[in-house]
Amino acid sequence: MQCPYCGSTNLIWDEKNGCIVCRDCATIIDSLYDFDQYNTTEIVIDFNKLNIRKSTINFLSLLDNINNKNKYKIDINNKNKYITEDGIYALQLLKMNKTAEEIFNKLTETGYFSGKKIKTRVAISFYLSGYRGNKMRDILKKLHINERYFKKITYKIPNYLKFQKFAINNDSI
């Protein structure tokens, strides 16, 4: 077999596309398909007969520890949750201001902003306790929170929470 355009016999078969190509002029001469399996060296795993060895379990737990290297595992209400180093720092920062800590506890009890990270909830509690301007910027820098992101979150705070004085003795928010 030879190329009808350049007359070369230097032809190759492209297994992926299933065609015969001339090496000299790069023309596709003919299509040729193989009906065998494309990859016969593929490993087939039968999950019904899968046995997990102890070394595999140790390896997977090691990978889990590496992925969560800067996180600490805590147990809250029997749920496995992780708290980062920023979250620990935020909780320490929260202990310095008693009103912000009480607001944080009220928000946690009622479930407001429960989907946000701990450091974001701490920043919200400082915001609700009256921190504005440079003090709030300093807190956001310490907690590694972007000011634009925090501004978006403050728009989502309901008005009755923004302007309400949190009565610690009263159980209703």
Exposed, middle or buried: residue 100 (CB in 10 Å: 0-12, 13-18, 19+)? buried
For residue range 46-75, what is the model confidence (pLDDT) as tens digits? 556 556 666 777 777 766 766 666 555 554
For residue range 26-47, what is the model confidence (pLDDT) as tens digits? 888 888 766 655 555 555 555 5
Instruction: Write down the pLDDT at residue 141.
Output: 92
Distance CA(141)–CA(134), nearest Å, equals 10
Query: How many CB atoms are located within 10 Å of the residue 150 CB?
Result: 18
Contacts of 150 (CB under 8 A, 6+ apart): 120, 123, 127, 140
Map out the domains of the chain as residue ranges: 1-35, 83-162
* Mean pLDDT calculated for residue range 90-96: 88
For residue range 102-161, what is the model confidence (pLDDT) as tens digits? 888 888 888 888 778 888 999 999 998 888 889 999 999 999 999 999 999 888 887 777
Q: Which of 170, 93, 78, 77 is nearest to 125 (CA)?
A: 93
Distance CA(101)–CA(129), nearest Å, equals 9
Query: How many CB atoms are located within 10 Å of the residue 37 CB?
Result: 8
Distance CA(116)–CA(140), nearest Å, equals 15
CA distance from start to end of the chain: 86
Instruction: Write down the pLDDT at residue 146.
Output: 92
Distance CA(54)–CA(63), nearest Å, equals 14
Bridge partner residues of 80 (DSSP): 75
Instruction: Write down the pLDDT at residue 166.
Output: 54
Contacts of 91 (CB under 8 A, 6+ apart): 118, 122
Instruction: Write down the pLDDT at residue 173.
Output: 40
pLDDT greater than 60 at residue 78: no
* Mean pLDDT calculated for residue range 23-28: 87
